[in-house]
Amino acid sequence: MIKMPEIQSEVYWTYDDFVRMNKELGLGAVDAHENTPQVVRDQFKKGEDMLFGYIMYLTSF
């Protein structure tokens, strides 16, 4: 049986946090959010898989 890691990160925000923050602060990245295709938003909202993939990409490849 493969033991998978428990991915728990309180360090960084989720996509929803990002969206909320952009709206509250009116920062420049709003455009990036609004132009993001729905499929990407849906994928991102699946949460940890994408976050994990992103962190692994930043860590190694």
Partner 1 sequence: MDMQKRYADRVKRLAAALNFEKTDCIPIMGMVETWAGHNNGMSILDICCDAEKLKASYLHFAKEFDFDAIGSPMGCRWAPVYSALGSTEFSFYNEKGAPHQGVQHLGRCNMEASEYPELIADPYKFITEKLLPRKYPALNVPEPRRSLNFAKGALLYVDHIFNALIPTCMAVGQQYGLPIFMNSGTEMPLDVMCDYFRGFQNIIMDTRRHRKQVIEACEALYPILLAGAIGNQAPEMFPTVFIPLHIPTYMNTKDFAEVYFPTFKRMIIDIINAGRRPYLFMEGDWAPYAEFFQELPKKKIVGLFEYHDYKAMKKNFGDTIALIGGMPLYNLNYDSKAQVIDRTKRLIDEMAPGGGWIFGFDKSWLSSNDANADNLKAVVETVRTYGVGK
Site string for partner 1, 16-55 (x = CB under 8 A): -xx--xx--x-x-x--xx--xx-xx--xx----xxxxxxx
| Whether the Cβ atoms of residue 5 and residue 52 lie closer than 8 Å to each other | no
Minimal distance, residue 9 CB to partner 1, in Å: 5
Q: Which of 12, 2, 3 is nearest to 50 (CA)?
A: 12
Two structure tokens written together for 49: 């898989």
Residues 57 and 49: beta-carbon distance below 8 Å: no
- In the complex, the residues that contact partner 1 under the rule CB under 8 A are 2-5, 7-9, 11-13, 15, 17-18, 21-22, 25, 27, 29, 32-33, 36-37, 39-40, 43-44, 49-61
